[in-house]
Structures are given as C-alpha cells and as structure tokens.
Amino acid sequence: MTVYNLPDLPYDHNALEPHVSARVMELHHGTHHAAYVKGANETLDKLSELGADPEPAALARLERDLAFHLSGHALHSVLWQSMSPNGGGEPQGLLARQIESDFGSVDSLRKRLSGSVNSLQGSGWGALAWDSLGSRLIVQQIHDHQSTHAVGALPLLVIDGWEHAYYLDYQSKKADWVAAFWRVADWTMAENLLDSLVQPTNR
Ligand code: MN
C-alpha cells in the first residue's frame, strides 16, 4: 500500500549551491529520502501481513523499522523546508520572541543547535522543536532518526548530521556543513508551524 509519498523539493536541485551541491540534493532527496518513504510503506505492508497474533520478535523488528523509516521521512520533509535559496535571514514574529525567551538570542540558539549536530556520535540530527507539554522551544539531538527524540516535541527546523548530507561537499568537515546550513536556513515553515501550535491567548 502507498500511504506515504516523496514530496517534491520546493526548489531546483542546484538552488542551494554553492552551500549544498546539486549532486548532494539529487542523491539525498531522490535516493535517501525516497528509501525511507519506500521503507515506511513496505513496513506497513509487512505489519498488516502479521495477523492478529504475530510472532513477538517479528513484530518488534517491524515496529522498529516503522519508527526508523517514518521518522526519516518526517525529518527529511522538514529539512527541505528548513532551507531555501532565499534563506540565511533571521526569524520573525512569535518564533523570534519565543527563541529569545527560551534561548536568550537567535545566536545562542544557532550555537546550541550547531553544537548538537557537531557533537553527534554516529548518525543523527539536530532539531529545534516545540515541546507541547512544556510550551517551550527545545533543541534536540536525535540519534539515527528517532532515538533520543522526546515524544510530544515537534521538529520545526532541522539539520541533518548523517554523512550522506555533507560528505561529497565537505568530506570530514561536518562543522563546515553546519555553518553552510545557516547561510541557507529558512525560518518560514518554523514560524508558520509555531503560529499554528500556540494558542492566541498564550502569545
Ligand atoms: Mn539525510
């Protein structure tokens, strides 16, 4: 069954050059993200074939697979919206005020989020997320696609720390990729998401 679909990129493959090469965008979107979409759909098929009384180990493996692929699909969908050829600016409105309240300044947030990616052991992500229970912004260091992700937090802006995100362009210099991300970072979706999540009475 096809429940999940690969979203189109909101810009051309070469739109983020020289910060992200067209080749990296082609592979990252067309191969890596596409594989997570395919994996999520295939895992749903396998789960439906397990029946009402599944073998426990098979069920556990498929539940892990679904979490991995579905989280990969979700994070990459946020990633494409977290960058744009018109990016590199500052957040506005409610998001800007909330960042100042929770992190002191946008520069402090940028340092925290950069640090969460640069200090990853292995593959993972850095995410600016809205903690719906605490009504505050948090920075998350997410291992693989979902480990160390706190349920209830919604990623608003993300940086991919997997090697496939930067190795062709920056080789082992992950910090150079993170610095390049900020030159194309786009806050628009994060601003719109936060506006939709926060009740007007709390603004
Ligand atoms: Mn990736």
pLDDT digits (tens, 9 = 90+) for 87-108: 999 999 999 999 999 999 999 9
User: Where in the chain are the domains?
Assistant: 20-203
Give the Å distance between the CA of 28 and the centre of ligand 1. Answer: 6
Give the Å distance between the CA of 38 and the centre of ligand 1. Answer: 15
pTM of the full predicted structure? Answer: 0.96
Give the Å distance between the CA of 119 and the centre of ligand 1. Answer: 17
Query: Which runs of consecutive H residues, i.e. helices, occur in the chain?
Result: 22-27, 34-49, 56-81, 93-103, 106-118, 167-170, 174-184, 188-197
Average pLDDT in the 63-74 region? 98
Where residue 14 falls among pLDDT bands split at 50, 70, 90?
very high
Phi, psi of 124 (to 5 degrees): 175, -165
Give the Å distance between the CA of 187 and the centre of ligand 1. Answer: 19
147 vs 141: CA distance, rounded Å: 9
pLDDT for 24-64, tens place per residue?
999 999 999 999 999 999 999 999 999 889 999 999 999 99
Give the Å distance between the CA of 144 and the centre of ligand 1. Answer: 10
Give the Å distance between the CA of 124 and the centre of ligand 1. Answer: 9
Q: What is the pLDDT of residue 203?
A: 60
Q: Which own/partner contact pairs does 177-184 have at CB distance under 8 Å and 24+ positions apart?
A: 178/114, 178/117, 178/118, 179/114, 180/19, 180/20, 181/19, 181/83, 182/88, 182/110, 182/114, 183/19, 183/87, 183/88, 184/16, 184/19, 184/20, 184/83, 184/84, 184/85, 184/87, 184/88
Q: What is the pLDDT of residue 167?
A: 98
Where residue 1 falls among pLDDT bands split at 50, 70, 90?
confident
Q: Does residue 16 have a pLDDT over 90?
A: yes
**Which residue is listed with tokens 């605490």?**
134
Give the Å distance between the CA of 194 and the centre of ligand 1. Answer: 24
User: What residues have a C-beta under 5 A from ligand 1, the ion?
Assistant: 160, 162, 165
CATH for the stretch 20-203: 3.55.40.20
Average pLDDT in the 61-83 region? 98
Where residue 164 falls among pLDDT bands split at 50, 70, 90?
very high
pLDDT for 112-121, tens place per residue?
999 999 999 9
Mean of pLDDT over the chain: 96
